[in-house]
Amino acid sequence: VPMPWWPDTKWKQMVSGEICEMCSDAHLATNPYSDLIGSSLSSYTRLSRNQSQPGYSIVIFRRHVSDLSELEPAERASFVEDVVAVSKAISSLFVPVKIDLLMMGHLCPHLHCHVFPQYQEDDPHAPVDLNRQERSLTHAAQQQRLESMRSLIRFT
Amino acid sequence: VPMPWWPDTKWKQMVSGEICEMCSDAHLATNPYSDLIGSSLSSYTRLSRNQSQPGYSIVIFRRHVSDLSELEPAERASFVEDVVAVSKAISSLFVPVKIDLLMMGHLCPHLHCHVFPQYQEDDPHAPVDLNRQERSLTHAAQQQRLESMRSLIRFT
């Protein structure tokens, strides 16, 4: 019986970084999923192209590790501080009711955190689904949102 | 038009901790949702009663804050270290393919992190749903799992 998770050989290559989309595109100004807001010593912060949840961003650890537990405490702390800085920027720009911090990596096991805000129109009882809705901004509006985020985050 | 999120007055009480189920039951040996594994200076670690994902645990910050961003960096780091210790214990006991770290709090905005393992039989493309399946262990099996977790986590 085939198991639904990735085949073992492929998953091992994904976990080791031998195959890793984020290693290839996390630093690019733009890629099919997101645009670069900025980078720190430990991470790249990107604004999702899907702005159904205004401010939805992803903080991607700079080098390839598959899990937060692989880091030394100091590296972990600086990654988490980056996540929090992004969360604070989203809070002050968009005033969500709550912000979810989600580290999963089922499709790309390269350490990253989805900073995923919730708004009044969201159902607090619904399971979180990053792709429940799809909403792209115009190029100009996306660029303006990138600028607003940059103005609020001090990258270390 | 009523919005799906909690009514504003109620949500404010939940965020402030005036109404907070976790403040009442996070420290108890047992409550309807989970059993206490142990506690550290910053958190309570609990084993979910729903063990559909073997090892599924929740790390709950000791005092009431609604969000990780409200903490000082040192407090944040020690909470995160607790989460990682739990994640490592789950890894060595149950050998999941991946472990999700999920901080949400839509139903109870008291800072906590779901340490939610994924296994070969899980679909990596499915959105994460903490309640997708429901599986309780016998009392004896749950107690044994609590003991196994305790033996692997050094609470600081």
Mind listing the pLDDT tens digit for each residue in B96-126? Answer: 999 999 999 999 999 999 999 999 999 999 9
Residue in chain A lying closest to B77 (CA): A77
**Residues of A within an 8 Å Cβ radius of B:** 3-6, 11, 66-69, 73, 76-77, 80-81, 83-84, 87-88, 91, 97-107, 109, 118-125, 127-132
Q: What is the DSSP letter of B6?
A: P
Distance CA A96, CA A86 (A): 13
pLDDT at site B77: 97
Q: What is the rounded average pLDDT of the residues B73-100?
A: 98
> In this predicted model, what pLDDT tens digit does every residue of A12-71 receive, in sequence order?
999 999 999 999 999 999 999 999 999 999 999 999 999 999 999 999 999 999 999 999
Across-strand partners of B36? B46
List the single best residue of A102, A110, A129 to mutate versus B (max B Cβ within 10 A): A102
Q: Under 8 Å CB-to-CB from A11, ≥6 apart: which residues?
A: A5, A109, B97
Provide the shortest C-alpha distance from residue A45 to chain B (in Å).
17
Per-residue confidence at B1, pLDDT binned at 50, 70, 90? low
In terms of Cβ atoms closer than 10 Å to its own Cβ (0-12, 13-18, 19+), residue B52 is middle
Count of CB pairs separated by less than 8 Å, A with B:
132
Average pLDDT in chain A:
97
Q: What is the rounded average pLDDT of the residues B12-18?
A: 98
Q: What are phi and psi of B69, to 5 degrees?
A: -70, -10
Q: What is the rounded average pLDDT of the residues A99-108?
A: 98
